[in-house]
Amino acid sequence: MKSNLLVVSNRGPFTIEGEMGNLKYRPAVSGLVSAVLPAVKKVGGIWLAWAGRLTEKTLEVQTVIKDDFNFVEVLLSREELKGYYEGYSNGVLWPLCHLMPEKVVLSEENYRIYKKVNQKFAQRAGTLLKPGTLLWIHDYHLALMPYFVRQKYSWQRIAFFWHIPFPPVEIFTIQPWAQEILRGLLGADLIGFHTEDYRENFLRSVERVLKIPVNYEWGTVYYNGREIRVKAVPIGIEPKNFQKDVPKIEEIEQDLRGQIIFLGVERLDYTKGLKEKILGFARFLEKNPEYLGKVILLQVAVPTRENIAAYRNYAKEVLEEVQKVNERFGHSSWQPIKILTRNYSQDELIYLYRRADTLIITSLEDGLNLVAKEFIASRQEPGVVILSNRTGVARQFGVALKVNPYSPEEIAGQIKTSLEMSLEEKEKMFAKLKEQVLLKNNEWWLDNFLGKELMLSVAPGKYYRK
């Protein structure tokens, strides 16, 4: 172990399956994991998280030593998972933060369990703290954890990164627990968001809900005798992880041959605008029949959060839409949309990123969207990006072809534009995007968010400061 960094998140770098003595580790898929894993590998330390295993016993913990860091597992009971993860995290915070209050299901009981599980994580983290440890907590699942740690270990240095959008105060306060959540987060010394807009929304919520003065320019809040810094630093990826040779995926080649490929890679999540993408693609085919038989929308749609009704319904609706469009425009030897509903490994995704001509992202609301960065990092050949203007990455990707995901006309229009771009135009756009991805990489994120602020007493090497 290289450092005394303690990272805590709900989902860890892998899920653990099987029985003791014969445990299998499968890499976990989530935006959080793709960004935090390279950072933890670089700095070292401990990663405390849930690894997908359920138990009725409380506080049973297992430590797995990985090459670059130690992993400590938190086990959850079925009831905890239901109330904390499915109920409050993904039934309240997720839809509120993505501006979809109609999807929110409020429940006092779920919030009570969320609190209890946050306390449990705080307790576990407490046993791992040493003098000089930097505790770095991640995401909306653990918003109360900084408060619980601070209560017991008042001197502890705590950083927190919020990986999803932070909504305007009017939306955030639809839930009756907004005050507690904000107080929970203010237990940290440093709080990070992907964009200036999210940072501002958070500061405004603190100001209005807690009646605490905030400094927007400096991003500071004075609370309980402490100064809290609030920053906007968008996550970057580790480009070299996407530059390796990968094998072909033979089984999809038959459908792709000779086609101009529009690629989408998303979890089957109602925030990702999959139905809107399909509508836009259908509108394009309707307006440009000369492209029938020549283009394909290859959509990876990874099943996710299937215990939540809103997700099950959404998955069903998306598949129905695909079928409708394929029936309307397709024939026995050509279907305009191919949807792949399984999990794809990083190598497989790299293959798809390289195989496609254009990446198309139509999220209705998206904290950042790392897929856009992965697509660019994977390729040598220029590739076009059609990008929803409601993603965090839209500001960094200024030259991408932007769409309002709610407008099928705009989506259809930008699909057409991408097909009419000259090679020179594509190269120019691609070079600018590549520059962003390489410059604002994972190390840049780590340095700008944590490096200077919290004086990591991490030895040896780059991150050492006293």
Q: Which residues of this chain interact with ligand G6P, rule CB under 6 A? A: 10-11, 30-32, 139, 163-164, 304-305, 367
Residue nearer to ligand G6P on the CB measure, 44 or 367: 367
Q: How far is CA 12 from the centre of its chain?
A: 13
Q: How far is the CB of 9 from ligand G6P (least distance, A)?
A: 7
Smallest gap from residue 164 Cβ to ligand G6P (A) = 5
Distance CA 462, CA 459 (A): 8
Closest CA relative to residue 346, chosen from 393, 302, 400 = 302
**226-232 and 220-223 strand pairing:** antiparallel
Angle, CA of 236, 413 and 368, to the nearest 5°: 15
Place of tokens 């009646």: 211
Residues 395 and 197 sit within 8 Å (Cβ to Cβ)? no
- Give the nearest distance from C-beta 274 to ligand G6P in angstroms: 15
Q: How far is the CB of 37 from ligand G6P (least distance, A)?
A: 13
Nearest distance from residue 311's CB to ligand G6P, in Å? 10
| Closest distance of CB 97 from ligand G6P, Å | 10
Burial 70-89 (b: 16+ CB within 10 A, else e): bbbbbbbbeebbbbbbbbbb
Q: Minimum distance between the CB of residue 366 and ligand G6P, rounded to whole angstroms? A: 8
- Smaller CB distance to ligand G6P: residue 167 or 367? 367
In the bound state with ligand G6P, the residue whose beta carbon lies nearer, of 10 and 441, is 10
Pick between residue 125 and residue 282 the one whose CB is nearest to ligand G6P.
125
CA distance 263 to 338: 10
- How far is 144 from 2, CA to CA, in rounded Å? 28
Q: Which is closer to ligand G6P, CB of 82 or CB of 283?
A: 82
- CA 112/CA 127 separation, integer angstroms: 23
Residue (51 or 164) nearer to ligand G6P, CB: 164
**Nearer Cβ to ligand G6P (219/392):** 392
* Partners of 227 in beta bridges: 222
Using a 10 angstrom Cβ sphere, with 0-12 exposed, 13-18 middle and 19 or more buried, the burial of residue 218 is exposed
- Choose between 193 and 329: whose C-beta lies nearer to ligand G6P: 193
Rounded Cα distance between 146 and 200, Å, is 20
Please state the closest distance from residue 32 (CB atom) to ligand G6P, in A. Answer: 4
